[in-house]
Amino acid sequence: MENKVDDPSSPSSKKTEQDIDKKQLNEIKDIINHFEKTFSQMKIFSSDHENVESFIDLLHDRLSKFLEKYWKLEIGIEEFSFSFQGFPFYSEEKLSKSLPFLFYKDGIKMLFFYKGLTREELKDFLEIMRKDSSLPPEESDIVISLWEKDFSNIRYFAPDDYLETKIGIGMKIPEYQIDKDKLFSGKITLNPEDRSALDKINTVQKDTKEISQEKMGTEKALLSKSEQELLKNMLQDHRKESEAKQYKTLLLDILYLEKRPEKVNSLISQLIQYVHQQASIGNFQIALSVYEEVSELKDYLSQTDSSKKKIIQKFFDSPKIEVTLSQVEEILDKEPIQEYDAFLKYLSFMGSKSIPILSYLYDHSETPGQKEKITTTLKQAGKQDLSELIKIARNERPELTLKIISILRDSKEERAINHLASFLSFGNKKILHDAINAIGSFKNPNANKILFSLFSHEDPEIRIRAAENIFMTEEEPVFQKILQSAKEKKFKKNSKEQKEALLLALARSRSKKAFEVLENIIKKVGLFSGSNKVESALCAVEALEKGGGFDGYEIIKSMIRSRHRKIRKKCQKSEEKLSRKIKKEASHDKF
């Protein structure tokens, strides 16, 4: 659904860092900051609350001044960030507070605000954001809400190919049978039920008309049309609310207004009990909304009432609002969890304490989609304590263990390296290989030290994989050890696999000293050299081919005329292979 704008992701719309107007960027940062504050207020208070109204006034004033000056505000949207002219300037990864994610999840890539934006449009836009953020993920779609409203001065870009994937999924197309003779006969035949319903409608309309004619002119309308419409919408929303939701709203409204410490304490106790009760019966959408709204209120009070904020903190410190594994097992024994996204989001607030529950859920999940969502929640929960993730890894549950390795790798935290090293004792080869790759991705001395220890592993595959993942510099102790080892006479007596691993590690360092050693190993082979010496030279050629880059290619090229037939043949094959690779890369660079 592309709303009257061109695709902003085209190359022509990108600008360099030098093109960015710093003053304009700072003004946009200020506007988004006010957007965030206004949205937070709307999530806590009703739309007509004086706090909300004043924040909207301030936001509209800032936006209007900006649009008067620049005519248009254009904001790029990534998963957790907003950008201006391709450069991110705002980020929020906490899903409950992330404004970018609210738009991103439904496929919106750009937002546009134009000169002439009215306060009413802005308020309606914020109201759409509030309503969609309060709905379960499977029910909300902010693109549809914006499309239905069709703002004059607010536009968005949502690619059609993304939206098409959301339309019609799981829908069964009904089969219609049409009798064309009856369709074009010019007659509509009503059955008895249709006739009875029509008679009732006619009677009601007649009575209503008579009553309205009697009263016409005797009363004055107390409300305008817009006010009547607003009242109607409020009543409809209220009727849709369950008793549980109304009770929650009442408690939170009183909590905001209450100033007396003893009463605030009492309200917090009631909210804790209420959340515990809702979570224990599987109503996670309500439990989640209470958690988020109390969190919003606490953030608001941090600037206005620190003593009340301390009392509210008791809500988050209470173990009663946490979900236990036994509770989850009990709920799942009765029926599947209906509000699954809300449930996972609620678990994410528990931090590392939720990891055993998420592990249990992963093992009992039947769909890839659910497992992917659980993995995302595990990633958030593990940030607090990576060691808790290791506890749920098992040799006999490789699928989940591989996910944990991926989470540790992506964390980029130094402490993750030692946790990854614990997987090197696992018997599953896939786990071992992924752990080695993950350790290698850190590219630092600690990672190299662990990988170097695998050079004596009994499995040649493990040795080679360790060598392929080591990234050394000349200054590192590991580099000096390998270099010294390759220079020694006894090096040629090592197994072929061990020589391959060590020499490949040297070649990958791209060090001048390493290249000199590798070249010497090849040069020393003569017509009557022993098999171990020849094997070492062949391993050196292989290492230069795999990891030596252009410098390695030059050394191989210079060794094509070696006196030993096997070395010549190996160098010729390697030179041909590298030559084709270089030409291919050069042709790609042209285009």
Tens digit of each residue's pLDDT (9 = 90 or more) over 145-170: 888 888 888 998 887 655 555 444 44
Task: Of 331, 316, 321, 329, give the one whose Cα is nearest residue 356.
Answer: 329
pLDDT, mean of residues 499-519 = 89
Average pLDDT over residues 443-453: 89
Structural domain boundaries of the chain?
A: 11-164, 243-321, 472-591
The answer, yes or no, to whether residue 531 has pLDDT greater than 80, is yes
Q: Give the model's pLDDT for residue 10.
A: 45
Output the pLDDT for position 539: 92
Q: Which residues are bridge partners to 110 per DSSP?
A: 76, 157
pLDDT at 210 over 70: no
Residue 236: pLDDT over 80: no
pLDDT at residue 93, as a whole number: 81
Q: Which residues of 113-139 are buried (b: 16+ CB within 10 A; e: fewer)?
A: bbeebeeebbbbbbebbbebbeebbee
Question: Does the pLDDT at position 9 exceed 60?
Answer: no
Supply the pLDDT for residue 438: 94
Rounded average pLDDT over 250-255: 84
Residue bearing the bigger pLDDT, 228 or 426: 426
Lowest mean pLDDT among 14-18, 64-68, 360-364, 537-541: 14-18
Check: CB of residue 308 under 8 Å from CB of residue 267.
no
pLDDT at 224: 72
Provide the terminal-to-terminal Cα distance of the chain, rounded to the nearest Å: 33
In terms of pLDDT, which residue wins out, 16 or 130? 130
Question: Looking at residue 214, what is its pLDDT?
Answer: 54
Specify the pLDDT at position 41: 81
Closest to 500 (Cα-Cα) out of 458, 453, 468: 468
| Residue whose tokens read 């969502």 | 373
Tokens, residue 466: 């360790």
Please give the Cα distance from 296 to 187 (Å, whole number).
61
Mean pLDDT of the chain: 82
Strands 72-77, 81-84: pairing is antiparallel
Q: Confidence class of residue 385 from pLDDT cuts 50, 70 and 90? A: confident
> Average pLDDT in the 448-458 region?
86
Token pair for 376: 């995302």
The predicted-structure confidence for 186-198, as pLDDT tens digits, reads as follows: 666 777 776 776 6
Give the per-residue pLDDT at 488. 87
Is the pLDDT at 113 greater than 90, yes or no? yes
Question: What 3-state class would DSSP assign to 114?
Answer: strand
Tens-place pLDDT, residues 556-588: 998 888 888 899 999 999 999 998 888 887 665
Q: Is the pLDDT of residue 439 over 90?
A: yes
Instruction: Give the integer Cα–Cα distance in Å for 201 and 195.
Output: 10
pLDDT band per the 50, 70, 90 thresholds, residue 435: very high
More confident position, 76 or 303: 76
Distances (CA, A) of 225 to 195, 222, 228: 35, 10, 5
Q: Which of 157-166, 289-298, 316-325, 484-493 has the weakest average pLDDT? A: 157-166
pLDDT greater than 90 at residue 64: yes
Confidence of residue 65 (pLDDT cuts 50, 70, 90): very high
Q: For the residues 180-191, what does the mean pLDDT come to?
A: 63
More confident residue, 238 or 423: 423
Whether pLDDT at 52 is above 70? yes
Exposed e or buried b per residue across 97-108, where buried means at least 16 C-beta atoms within 10 angstroms of its C-beta:
bbbbbbbbbbbb
pLDDT in tens, 410-429: 988 898 999 999 999 888 89
- Per-residue pLDDT tens over the stretch 455-469: 878 888 888 888 888
- Sequence letter at residue 23: K
What is the H or E stretch that residue 371 is in?
helix 368-382
| CA atoms of 466 and 451, how far apart (whole Å) | 5
Residue 242: is its pLDDT beyond 90? no
pLDDT of residue 161: 56
